[in-house]
Chains A and B, each alone.
Chain A
Amino acid sequence: MTMVQTKPESPNTDADDQGADLRLAAITKRFGGFLAVDNLDLEIPAASFFALLGPSGCGKTTTLRMIAGLEQPTSGSMSIGGKDITGTSAHERPVNTVFQNYALFPHMSVLDNVAFGLKRRKIRDHQAKAKQALELVELGHLSARRPAQLSGGQQQRVALARAIVNEPALLLLDEPLGALDMKLRRQMQGELKRIQTDIGLTFVHVTHDQEEAMTMADTVAVMNQGQVEQLGAPRELYELPRTAFVANFLGKSNLVAGEIIEDRGDAVVISAGGNRLAVRKDRSTTHQGKALIGIRPEKLRMMWPADAPADGSNILRGRVLDSSFTGVSTEYLVEVAGIGPVGVFSQNHGQQLAAPGDDVVLTWDTAHAFGLDGDEDTQAGAREAEAAAT
């Protein structure tokens, strides 16, 4: 991990914690018999924007609460900047949280809310610093108000100011935009990202919205049932999912089950319903036996049978079942013999559109396919993605 030096003139008393890595080692949390977080190892580099993405109930909030010290792990340890913090209480940790429903103190003015943490740590100039933080979120003019007199979006900014004013080693955000409407949400996404870049704090952002995670975060960890399925840069996760869950939860994927029948050296060929589909070895988690081959709908090229290449691999012949035109693109569902329905996402270049009943040929670049373990469920994560989108 690289240590990124942030704001050397930082007035934070816990200067050592500034720009410190968070490390979770074998963290497990049980509620009675229920395993909410399962042997989780996680390393979050300093000054990064880290997203924990996963369906509802996968253990994101529990993980965040354990980092904040609001919940103690059943087993495992955690450290910030090499300093062990396992077992310490929330008020002793250099960590601040933006709560899902903001949890602003209703009996205090906006300014007092923001100054609360500074006062508890006996920081000088707490009023001035709190004012400054409110300016940063563009709410300086409302500092005398009570939280109840603010709109949802404004309350959200106050909650953010109240946390960042403390310059914590780690800022935790639990679905901070969940209660906002779509337009405000997109706007706040950009703003959060800007603030994070400006002040250089480490953000750990919990969300079930994959688009939000991908647009904002440097690193995304996809969580499922208390475990991290895969972790990486958004592009990396999207282009090369390593589990069926990630392939389906993060965007859409066509997953086809088959058997590896040929080793070409740098690639293997999978036979599925009589079709030969190639995948590069470095893009496949398995190189023999049963396998799933995955291909994103937008990576598929759809053409008329007359234009199709002669026989080879990566060619699927099918018939259009359904099409929906959205303007910039058209989404097709193509029935392929021996495989089933395949989703295709075709950008509008002005080409002639296929209609249901038309025979078409699908093809793609081998470099765009990915291979997964054959005993995985092709539908894993699809239902969760659907639920998260609504």
Chain B
Amino acid sequence: MRRRIGPWLVPAFGGLAFLFLLVPIAYVFAFSFNDAGRTNLSWRGFTLDNWRNPCGAPAVCESLANSLQISSIVTVIATILGTAIAIGLVRLRFKFNATANMLIFLPLATPEVVLGASLLAQFLNIGVDLGVGTIIIAHSMFCISFVVVAVKARVASLDPKLEEAAADLYASPIQAFWRVTFPLLLPGIVAAALLAFAMSFDDFIITNFNSGNVDTFPKFIYVAATRGIPAQANVIGSAMFIIALLIVIGGQILSNRRAKMLAAR
């Protein structure tokens, strides 16, 4: 009995798990074609109108633009600072190295409500107007931690002899960084940047505390949920999913092709 079921068990559970993951996405995708009217809760018939005019509903695209802008800036800030910190933590031996290594984890371990609330208190204390600026500061804070953790692993696996070889071959420290260190860290940095973008784009709790009256996309959806989410939100959600999927598939194809090219030589 066991022998016959065994081989089926893993694929069956795997398939179920995938189904479980994909059903909500399929739902969002399907309802992006709903001729919804005011609320997008029940199916009212197929239409392409939502896709033709994704900015049709009021404030959807405005909040999306805010989110894209904020996440892009945050990604740049967090990736640059996080990479620098990661290299520093691995390579430099300083007195509070171990402490710094632990502190960098704190933003990841602290509940978001706590972070959001205490940041808000700080902003109010020093009298900063809440808005895009404060959101960027708040997001950068926790995204840096993600970047540091992701890039640190890559730096740790980098052979310091390679930089010495570069120096030995007449590369100044700056040249050695850009010609050897950076290209070797790049896959880790790109992964970290994507992660930072996703984390920032997705964040609701911390944003909600520190955004004033600026709407990000998640905040817009949350507020809209009480009145009924416009079908355009499904369009944008689906589009984001498809873009992410294309990036992943594209990356796979590229690395496959490179591996094949190298093998062929």
Contacts and interface: CB of A to CB of B under 8 A. Distances in A.
Interface of A: 68-70, 89-91, 95-97, 99, 101, 103-107, 116-117, 120-121, 144-146, 149, 162, 166
B159 A89 contact: no
A166 B165 contact: no
Nearest to A117: B169
B23 to A, nearest CB: 42
Contacts of A104: 165
A150 to B, nearest CB: 11
B205 interface: no
A105 B165 contact: yes
Nearest to B164: A70
Given A70-B167, A91-B172, A117-B170, A103 B161 contact: yes
Contacts of B184: 106-107
Given A101-B161, A103-B161, A120-B175, A90 B168 contact: yes
A97 B265 contact: no
Contacts of B161: 99, 101, 103
Given A105-B162, A146-B262, A162 B169 contact: yes
A123 to B, nearest CB: 10
A34 B262 CA distance: 47
B202 to A, nearest CB: 32
Given A96-B168, A103-B161, A103-B162, 9 more contacts: A70-B167, A89-B167, A90-B164, A90-B167, A96-B169, A99-B165, A105-B162, A145-B265, A166-B170
A387 to B, nearest CB: 24
B169 A149 contact: no
B171 interface: yes
8 contacts: A69-B168, A70-B164, A91-B169, A91-B170, A101-B161, A105-B162, A107-B183, A117-B170
A162 B166 CA distance: 11
B168 A70 contact: yes
B168 A97 contact: yes
Interface in B212-228: none
A117 B166 CA distance: 8
Summarize A's interface: helix, strand, loop or mixed: loop
Interface in B113-171: 159, 161-162, 164-171
A104 B169 CA distance: 11
Given A70-B164, A103-B164, A166 B169 contact: yes
A230 B172 CA distance: 37
B184 to A, nearest CB: 6
How many interface residues does chain B have, given as a range?
20 to 34
Contacts of B164: 70, 90, 99, 103
Interface of B: 159, 161-162, 164-173, 175-176, 179-180, 183-184, 262, 265
Contacts of A97: 165, 168
B119 to A, nearest CB: 40
Nearest to B159: A103
Contacts of A101: 161
A61 to B, nearest CB: 12
A362 to B, nearest CB: 51
Contacts of A116: 166, 169, 171, 179
Contacts of A146: 262
A7 B6 CA distance: 74
A109 B115 CA distance: 47
Nearest to B169: A117
A174 to B, nearest CB: 10
B1 to A, nearest CB: 48
A379 B262 CA distance: 54
A200 B126 CA distance: 70
**Most chain A CB atoms below 10 A, which of B162, B169, B262:** B169
**Most chain B CB atoms below 10 A, which of A89, A90, A106, A146:** A90
A90 B175 CA distance: 13
Contacts of B169: 91, 96, 116-117, 120, 162, 166
A91 B171 contact: yes
Contacts of A99: 161, 164-165
A72 B221 CA distance: 61
Nearest to B170: A120
B188 to A, nearest CB: 13
B262 to A, nearest CB: 6
A90 B262 CA distance: 33
Nearest to A144: B265
Contacts of A121: 170
Nearest to B183: A107
